[in-house]
Amino acid sequence: MIFDLYSLAFFGIAFVGGLIAVPIGGSFLLIIPAFLLLGLNGLQVLLLSRIFAVAATGSGSAYFFANHREHFDWRVIFKFLSGNFIGYIFAAKIATSIDIETLTKIIPWILFIGAIILLRDWKIKKIHHQKFFAKLLPIFGFLLGFYAGLGGAPSALIIMLLTLALGWGMHRAIMNTRIIEFFGNGIAVAAYLYFGAKFTGFEFPVILGGLLGGLLGAKSTLKSKPVWLKKAFLVLVLISAVKITFF
């Protein structure tokens, strides 16, 4: 049934998640615990959360592209994704055999430090350093794809910091991060299904909620001032660090 209360719960969670996912990221802090509370097992949660992410970042990216396609740097996007795809596939293959709990607890605190630096407009200033950093993007992409594919969070926030290091403004960094997430999560969904994960039956309400939430989230992003987005990013990272460490 599409319109029973259970499906409406999945729709509502995905809708709210989409509102969060596009402007500042970190929606998995809501999505993953909520899906677990609704009775899904770990592998189902990994698959359905990635399906949600494809929907939310897909609608958000489409809106960004329709209005500001000049902000997309496809060279950077493809460099990152060249490693990201491999990382996701590798992680999907061994998703049930590695414990990344310790790494998951460390990453948010590293991000918190990065978010504080971000408020001071941190970036790599010298052009030749930026070019060298860009050459490392496939490696960063692989590591993050592997980490995220095993359920690690919040990988999207790490991508955000990497793009900001290139000297981009906040809005441009968000746009490129979301389209990277879209393609990365798409390959993750395909990999999970290939290696034996099964659909839950709640994909439709999650996709619909993610699409609508992501679209509205994208609209709110372009109306928000970069300084407020940075502060929201900092708050989200702090919440992530506290939640993952202590709860």
Mean pLDDT, all residues of the chain = 78
Residue scoring higher pLDDT (224 or 229): 224
224 Cβ neighbours under 8 A, 6+ residues apart: 23
Nearest to 179 by CA among 32, 56, 83: 56
Mean pLDDT of the region 33-56: 85
Q: Domain range for residue 202?
A: 5-246
User: By CB neighbour count within 10 A (0-12 exposed, 13-18 middle, 19+ buried), where does 38 fall?
Assistant: middle
pLDDT value of position 132: 76
Measured between alpha carbons, how far is 244 from 240 in angstroms, rounded to an integer? 6
The DSSP secondary-structure symbol of 124 reads -
Residue scoring higher pLDDT (25 or 189): 189
User: By CB neighbour count within 10 A (0-12 exposed, 13-18 middle, 19+ buried), where does 239 fall?
Assistant: middle
Tokens 């290696």 map to which residue?
Answer: 195
- Whether 209 shows a pLDDT value over 90: the answer reads yes
- Whether 57 shows a pLDDT value over 90: the answer reads yes
Domain count of the chain?
A: 1
Q: What angle do CA 99, 104, 109 make, to 5 degrees?
A: 155
